[in-house]
Amino acid sequence: MNPFDTHEVRNTVAPFENINLYAADPALQEALLREGGAEAAESLHALGAQLGRAEVLDLARLANLHSPRLHNFDRSGQRVDEVEFHPAWHSLMTLLIENGAHASPWLGGPGAQVARAARYMLFGQLENGSQCPVTMTYACVPALRQAPKIAAKWLPKILSTQYDPRSLPVEQKRGAIIGMGMTEKQGGSDVRSNTTRAEPLLPAEARAMFGDEGEDVYRIVGHKWFFSAPQSDAHLILAQTDDAGSAGLSCFFLPRYLPDGGRNQIRVQRLKDKLGNRSNASSEVEFTGAYGWLIGKPGRGIPTILEMGSHTRLDCVLGSAGAMRAALTHALHHARGRSAFGRPLSEQPLMQNVLADLALESEAATAFGIRLARCFDEGDDPAQALLARILTPAGKYWICKRGPAFGAEAMEVIGGSGYVEDGPLARLYRELPVNSIWEGSGNVMCLDLLRAFGKTPAARAALAAELALAGESDADYARYTQALLADLEQPQSDEFGARVLAERVVLAVQAGLLLRHAPAYVSSAFVASRLAREPGGAFGRLPAGVDCAAILARALVE
């Protein structure tokens, strides 16, 4: 040894990479098979291997390190409003779109939503900013189908599995992505406060400008305070209309390029400087006489865009489940390789308690997310549609709410090295709050759940039927679900207690799924820690007797 060597590097852990993210996750594999996605198992296996490769995982670091830049003008002073991305962003988008994360369920096939959900969860372990435009593109399809002419022109490009980032009129592109704009400065949750206005063009004027496409065209003036993915080929937005006696918010399709090939008047004011999600461009825009095409009926913009919202909220659940899974795997891998006080961290009882608690949370989120996706596959069945109606807001609240605490705990497992930017935990931690904020923040989701129970009494029966599938053999589960269902017999109007209700609904469904499908050492620990006693604020509070070694062996197959 060189006498000037300061130290020998030992007891450090190789990065968690070059691993098949799907094969490493029995809970996800089992959920896919039982919820109807078996046909996709092989392709998910291949995707898991691809996404776990070191150079692919590194795309996430690069895309977030080199955030997008806005160029308002070209070199000759022409307004262009173009966003420049690092090549890593384009690689991520290519991966997502080639794998159908933006559209595959709309092409049909059994279990298509479930298969996509599993894929989306795997992508959630890779990078989260690029999931935003992909989710919006996926979610816009049901709304766009309400406008057959626009759908005929655009859906072939939206459903295409070719990522085409070029800034061109849609006719010249191989694929298109779509964004959405509701939030304004004075109100995001309360979209009724939108001040953006839309005035219909006279039919003759619209035909003169846009020929065959000159139907239901409006001139839009106003702004959006959050307008993610401004590079999208079109956005769906809300604006106030007051025509033909149908005052209120209407939904519009705003293409980036107009049918005559000119640019639409969408001025990108600036890009947001965000806590996380830094790979993704989120902008502020002004519409200075943009042209928009009406989607759905005038004055019915909220129900139209809410259809989109139910799909984006599903993705918030899946994205958070994926990001939590990523945090868990990095933490567990580290704890297996790192020793303190003479023993690997993963074998120290208190650390086992923390890790097993995280693993239970992650498995429950996975089971819930994939089960919820099956509700979307089976939406023609009224019971499944009702279940989706309540589990979407409840899950969006509770699972996304668990994310930041989960990320912080996983970071702490890695200690100081978890807190620095060398590894992925700092990025994941910054990422986790956003799913709780956008697409309807936590409180708004809980109030939506109250509304759903209030407006559709059959929702309680749909929940009861789902919970009954787990039987009554577990006494704590039986007690918990009976109390929940008894409370739901009363009219639900308690805004003050709505968070507790949402949490109870999700915990009950998660416990039922685990009791039916997971090994007993998982389900009994989940019920004992979440249903049989008041949950506390921190992870690592599992009661004595839990088989942590078995839970951890299942949580990550390396």
Ligand X SMILES: Cc1cc2nc3c(=O)[nH]c(=O)nc-3n(C[C@H](O)[C@H](O)[C@H](O)COP(=O)(O)OP(=O)(O)OC[C@H]3O[C@@H](n4cnc5c(N)ncnc54)[C@H](O)[C@@H]3O)c2cc1C
Name the site residues for ligand X (rule: CB under 6 A).
Answer: 179-183, 187-190, 226-228, 274, 277, 282, 434, 437-439, 441-444, 447
Q: In the complex, what is the shortest distance from the CB of residue 275 to ligand X, in angstroms, rounded to a whole number?
A: 8
Q: Among residues 35 and 439, whose Cβ is nearest to ligand X?
A: 439
Can you spell out the DSSP letters for 215-281?
SSEEEEEEEEEEEE-TTSSEEEEEEEE--TT--EEEEEEEESB-TTSPBPSEEEEEE---SS-TTS-
Q: How far apart are CA 85 and CA 354, in angstroms?
A: 38
Q: In the complex, what is the shortest distance from the CB of residue 352 to ligand X, in angstroms, rounded to a whole number?
A: 35
Q: Among residues 282 and 524, whose Cβ is nearest to ligand X?
A: 282
Q: In the complex, what is the shortest distance from the CB of residue 134 to ligand X, in angstroms, rounded to a whole number?
A: 13
Q: Among residues 178 and 354, whose Cβ is nearest to ligand X?
A: 178
SS3 string of 87-123? Answer: HHHHHHHHHHHHCCCCCHHHHCCCCHHHHHHHHHHHH
Q: Are 52 and 25 in contact (CB under 8 A)?
A: no
In this structure, what token pair is assigned to residue 525? 């620990």
Q: Among residues 259 and 433, whose Cβ is nearest to ligand X?
A: 433
Q: How far apart are CA 100 and CA 122, in angstroms?
A: 13
**Burial track 316-326 (b if 16+ CB lie within 10 A, e otherwise):** bbbbbbbbbbb
Q: In the complex, what is the shortest distance from the CB of residue 372 to ligand X, in angstroms, rounded to a whole number?
A: 20
Query: Which residues, 6 or more positions from 177, have their beta carbon under 8 angstroms from its beta carbon?
Result: 97, 102, 133, 134, 136, 137, 158, 229, 231, 232, 233
Number of residue whose CB is nearest ligand X = 188
Q: In the complex, what is the shortest distance from the CB of residue 450 to ligand X, in angstroms, rounded to a whole number?
A: 11
Query: Which amino acid makes up residue 42?
Result: E
Q: In the complex, what is the shortest distance from the CB of residue 455 to ligand X, in angstroms, rounded to a whole number?
A: 17
In this structure, what token pair is assigned to residue 471? 């039987």
In this structure, what token pair is assigned to residue 414? 């890695």
Q: Among residues 284 and 409, whose Cβ is nearest to ligand X?
A: 284
Q: In the complex, what is the shortest distance from the CB of residue 256 to ligand X, in angstroms, rounded to a whole number?
A: 15
Q: Among residues 424 and 440, whose Cβ is nearest to ligand X?
A: 440
Q: Among residues 21 and 447, whose Cβ is nearest to ligand X?
A: 447
Q: In the complex, what is the shortest distance from the CB of residue 377 to ligand X, in angstroms, rounded to a whole number?
A: 26
Backbone dihedral region for residue 222 (phi beyond 0: left; psi -120 to 50: alpha; all else: beta)? left
Are β-strands 234-241 and 178-181 bridged in parallel, bridged antiparallel, or unpaired? parallel
Q: Are 126 and 19 in contact (CB under 8 A)?
A: no
Query: Which residues, 6 or more positions from 199, have their beta carbon under 8 angstroms from its beta carbon?
Result: 218, 219, 221, 241, 243
| Residue 161, SS3 per DSSP | coil
Q: Among residues 82 and 412, whose Cβ is nearest to ligand X?
A: 82
Query: Which amino acid makes up residue 538?
Result: A
User: Side-chain half-sphere of 516: how many Cα atoms within 13 Å?
Assistant: 19
Helix axes 458-468, 442-455, angle to 10 degrees: 100
Q: Among residues 398 and 480, whose Cβ is nearest to ligand X?
A: 398
Q: Are 300 and 127 in contact (CB under 8 A)?
A: no
Q: In the complex, what is the shortest distance from the CB of residue 366 to ligand X, in angstroms, rounded to a whole number?
A: 24
Q: Among residues 277 and 529, whose Cβ is nearest to ligand X?
A: 277
Residue 257 has what DSSP assignment? B
Q: In the complex, what is the shortest distance from the CB of residue 223 to ligand X, in angstroms, rounded to a whole number?
A: 11
In this structure, what token pair is assigned to residue 262? 């000119």
Q: Among residues 214 and 319, whose Cβ is nearest to ligand X?
A: 319
Q: Among residues 64 and 366, whose Cβ is nearest to ligand X?
A: 64
Q: Are 91 and 165 in contact (CB under 8 A)?
A: no
Q: In the complex, what is the shortest distance from the CB of residue 442 to ligand X, in angstroms, rounded to a whole number?
A: 6
Q: Among residues 326 and 447, whose Cβ is nearest to ligand X?
A: 447
Q: In the complex, what is the shortest distance from the CB of residue 228 to ligand X, in angstroms, rounded to a whole number?
A: 3
Please return the burial class of 342, using the count of CB atoms within 10 Å of its CB with bins 0-12, 13-18 and 19+.
Answer: exposed
Q: Are 59 and 92 in contact (CB under 8 A)?
A: yes
In this structure, what token pair is assigned to residue 304? 């139209």
Q: How far apart are CA 547 and CA 555, in angstroms?
A: 12
Q: In the complex, what is the shortest distance from the CB of residue 66 to ligand X, in angstroms, rounded to a whole number?
A: 18
Query: Which amino acid makes up residue 361?
Result: E
Bridge partners (DSSP) listed for residue 82: 71
How far, CA to CA in Å, does 254 sit from each of 42, 179, 190, 257, 306? 39, 10, 22, 9, 17
